[in-house]
Structure 1
Amino acid sequence: MRTTRLLRPDPDGIVAAAALLRSGGLVAFPTETVYGLGGDASNPDAVAAIYAAKGRPAHNPLIAHVVDAHAAARIARFDPRAAAVADTFWPGALTLVLPVRDARLLAPAMVPKGAGTVAVRVPAHPVARALLAAFGGPVAAPSANISGRVSPTTALHVRDELGGRIDAILDAGPCDVGVESTILSLTGPRAVLLRPGGVSQSALSEVLGIPIVQTQETDVLTAPGQLASHYAPSSPVRLDARSRGANELWLGFGAACEGADMSLSASGDLGEAASNLFAALRLLDQRANGRRIAVAPIPERGIGIAINDRLRRAAAPRSGD
């Protein structure tokens, strides 16, 4: 078992984290969305170690995080559409799936077999950007949790699940957005939304000037977040719960949920709900003791679309169920 160091998000901590990445180590770090589990995206052993630490299925791809669009253009091919959305939304909560430019710059696992693509993002969190600048290359960084479980939005969440499995955690407090990045594929003539997230589909469509289609089932996964069951607590989840049922804990939203065990946002603020989502699911899961988690309805608009996506995956039948 490894000793997992807790690093401060100051210059010394950033230098230490970058050195660990260069040596093939694994470092969890904050983004504006969730904490990511970072490893050198060009190092096959480091990428394999990410999969092993998370227990992640080998066919589930990873995102390459880079410091800016120029770094992204070294590993991915940008057409005018990709350049337009990158100019508008980077740095930020948007991942683009694009044709790979030079697969030799990446570990083979970063380029899904049969796809010839790479998923790439420029995060906005200042600590993530400082780490990427100090490291000087692409960093593979899925969410820093056991595969399929609730994503981490604090360093404590990471330590609880991956302590002893990774080398260090850069602790910069809780993440602001609280749900993962939007993933948009621009590998063909259509713009395809693979995962809703912190950037809305309508905002992307407005920049592109074309409608964005929803992802279809495919044998080749080109980005994370496409598995039917994902982001799941250990306890079963019931959606659209307007009251607490027998043997349930109730996660509310809005003023109509008086008496709920917890609320994502008592005022009905979707941004607050997104920020609180994963932490609330984790806390209720710890308290459940065999009970089910019932979740109040969430409006299907804005970032509520991403919240509902995560909740539907959390409530989906688990493998082997």
Structure 2
Amino acid sequence: MTTSYNCTSEEQRAEGLEHAQRAISEKKCVVMPTDTVYGIAADAFSPQAVTMLLVSKGRGRHMPPPVLIPRPNALDGLATDVSEDARKLADTFWPGGLTLIFHAQPSLDWDLGETRGTVALRMPDDDIALELLNRTGPLAVSSANRTGQPAAQTAAEARTQLAESVEVYLEGGFRPLEGTEPVASTIVDATTVPLRVVRDGAISLERLREVVPGVLALGEAEPEPASEAPAPDEAPAPDEALAPGEALAPGEAPIPGETVVHTETGAE
């Protein structure tokens, strides 16, 4: 039976979180507030639960949900090849509106959809979300709306779209704030060097570059590598100097569009 809880009441909040934890363990979906908008959440390690989340939204496996985590040190258990630059961004902007795409740990037994071996991770800056995440562990979370419809900014708005497909609705008031527009998290692809923004959002490029100056903007081309200097005993005559671009370029970075991420405004 679908139940809504007013989490501005301490008593209902405690009861709602307990019910939500139980629903997650039973492979059901819940709706919870985040620092961006409301999200529909399911056990990230249950293919059945993730499938139910996708069906509830009217979405296919080609649009896999991101995963929200309760604390930064959960990163290393879920991702591999975490670069120093990516870790700097996580340390600076988590909890907050930054999603980072990594190579997923190959040993993990999960199925989020057609991820091509990647996982999008974020730690939200919301007390209710973090309290639930600390009870359940990592959750697959997407915006709490039917695909193509406006992102829900309250649990009541989410319920008008998702109805009985969700077991528990945790109402925490407007997100981010009443009268403001929904905001998406910024998504940075951390599987490439240099790091690359693949969706603009809550964290501006300027703020990202204050921490990691080399982050590429959305759609920005990677800078051309400098030409290699010839060895001393192979230096050409002045009129035979190497032309710019003759040096062998490094392998191409993956095309941003080849990374499977969801770009709809939402909890991710």
| TM-score (normalised: structure 2) | 0.78
* Count of equivalent residues: 222
The structure with the larger Rg is 2
Q: Report which structure shows greater RCO (CA 8 Å, sep ≥6).
A: 2
Within a 5 Å distance, the mapping from 1:47-58 to structure 2 comes to 47-58=50-61
Within a 5 Å distance, the mapping from 1:44-193 to structure 2 comes to 44-77=47-80, 78-105=82-109, 107-110=110-113, 112=115, 115-135=116-136, 137-176=137-176, 178-193=182-197
Q: Where does structure 1 differ by over 4 angstroms across 4 or more consecutive aligned residues?
A: 215-219
Structure 2 contact 94–123 (Cα < 8 Å) conserved? yes
CA distance in 2, matches of 1:219, 1:92: 24
Deviations 1:131-151 (A, max 9, x none): 00011x210010010012111
Aligned to 1:38: 41
What amino acid sits opposite 1:169 in the alignment?
A: Y
RMSD between superposed Cα atoms in Å = 1.9
Query: 1:148/1:20 Cα in 2 relative to 1: closer, same or farther (>3 Å)?
Result: same
Q: Cα offset for 1:117?
A: 1.1
Aligned to 2:213: 209
Task: For residue 132 of structure 2, give the secondary structure of its aligned residue in structure 1.
Answer: helix
> Which of 2, 5, 12 pairs up with 2:3?
5
Aligned to 1:17: 20
Structure 2 contact 61–113 (Cα < 8 Å) conserved? no
Structure 1 contact 154–173 (Cα < 8 Å) conserved? yes
Q: Cα offset for 1:111?
A: 6.0
Aligned to 2:238: none
Structure 2 contact 200–218 (Cα < 8 Å) conserved? no
Structure 2 contact 63–113 (Cα < 8 Å) conserved? no
Task: For residue 150 of structure 2, give the secondary structure of its aligned residue in structure 1.
Answer: coil
CA distance in 2, matches of 1:219, 1:59: 13
Identity across the alignment (%): 30
What are structure 2's unaligned runs of at least 5 residues?
8-12, 221-254
CA distance in 2, matches of 1:219, 1:154: 31
What amino acid sits opposite 2:18 in the alignment?
A: V
Query: 1:18/1:11 Cα in 2 relative to 1: closer, same or farther (>3 Å)?
Result: same
